[in-house]
Amino acid sequence: EYLPMRKKITSWIKIIFLLIYLQSCKSTTALMKQEATLADKMGSKQTEYLFNRIKEIAKVGYAFGHQDATAYGMGWKNDGSMKRSDVHDVTGEYPAVYGFELGHIELGHSINLDTVNFELMQRLIQRAHKAKGIITLSWHPDNPVSKKSAWDTTPAVIEILKGGSLHEKYKEWLFNLANFMNGLKDDSGNDIPVVFRPFHEMNGNWFWWGNGHCSPEEYINLWRETFNILTKEYNVHNVLYAYSPNTLEKTEDYLKYYPGDLYVDILGIDIYQHGNSEEFINALKKDISLLQKVASDKNKPYALSEAGLNEVPIANWWTKVLDPYIAKSGISWALFWRNAWPNHYFAPYPGQTSASDFILFKNLPHVLFLNDVKKIR
């Protein structure tokens, strides 16, 4: 009935190592909490806590995120009465990271450019936060010069910078944005912290703030002025700022538009599969490796800030094409784009081609859904 001596010794060694590990984790967490330095020096304690959680996630794996996960899906739209997501319909679990879109908040509209009501969005953010989910906010503001969409590339950045003809108009836009951010409170009236990812994919040429439509210097000034107006004039202190170029043509393009360490909390990159899987895998390997190096140099957490394959027609895409090349990469999360309509969706729904593989993906120990990140304090 007694263990052989060797087994006893092995058991004790395991226990000792576990105790050492737990103590080191505890010490590391405490140290990180002391050393957390946000771009916004007035950032709330809730925002600092989110920053530290994001760092801790990467030690365990990466969190799965989905844009507009609880706002709508394939064949349904939330009217405020439902608690649903396509991801939950397939797996029985909710995403860990929730993406929402602020486009048209600047115009004072009641619904965003994807027809999601902003009051409903606020409630969905509150619900996700209460469940210990992480919220990221993208923003596709209209072109302030042409008054058309974000994809209208009429040059505009120079006009909204300080001294430009539309600077005051831009400050009004940011006032509307700030009102939304400052209205994000939990049941106790505390800040709900969010990751804000403005002016993304700037190295591409499809947005008015993108390559060819403003100089890198103008872009950097736009980011810094936006940051300063929100934090110093409008007292927004519940935001982590994420910088995210698109897939890189040249590695030096990653930092070409970088506004500086003092204005950025999180580094990201957007990588979609537009061609074959081999091209996508090569882009993941190349760009995430670079992201890892830049983030290490700057001591900042990093993420795959947008990703996906439209309609996910490859049955084993999640476990064979995607995961092997982002697992153990150090990213804190990967956010997949929205399920908008039958020919534009990036996460499976029941019966979809990749749904079975998605369940296998969800069950991988390093892929974290809501119930997993709840445990990370």
User: Any idea which residues carry the catalytic annotation?
Assistant: 201, 306
Q: Are 38 and 47 in contact (CB under 8 A)?
A: yes
CA proximity to 247, closest of 210, 193, 283: 283
CA distance 372 to 132: 10
- Name the strand (E) or helix (H) holding 89: helix 86-91
CA proximity to 332, closest of 55, 35, 50, 25: 55
DSSP, collapsed to helix, strand or coil, labels residue 4 as coil
Compute how many other C-beta atoms are within 10 angstroms of the C-beta atom of residue 261: 13
Sole residue written with tokens 């087994």: 7
Torsion 99-100-102-103 (CA) sign:
positive
CA distance 31 to 129: 25
CA proximity to 267, closest of 358, 207, 330, 313: 330
Alpha helices in the chain (DSSP H): 5-35, 45-60, 86-91, 118-130, 157-160, 167-182, 216-228, 277-298, 355-362, 370-373
Cα of 9 vs its chain's centroid, Å? 46
CA distance 192 to 129: 7
CA proximity to 88, closest of 73, 78, 77: 73
Compute how many other C-beta atoms are within 10 angstroms of the C-beta atom of residue 9: 11
Q: Are 345 and 339 in contact (CB under 8 A)?
A: yes
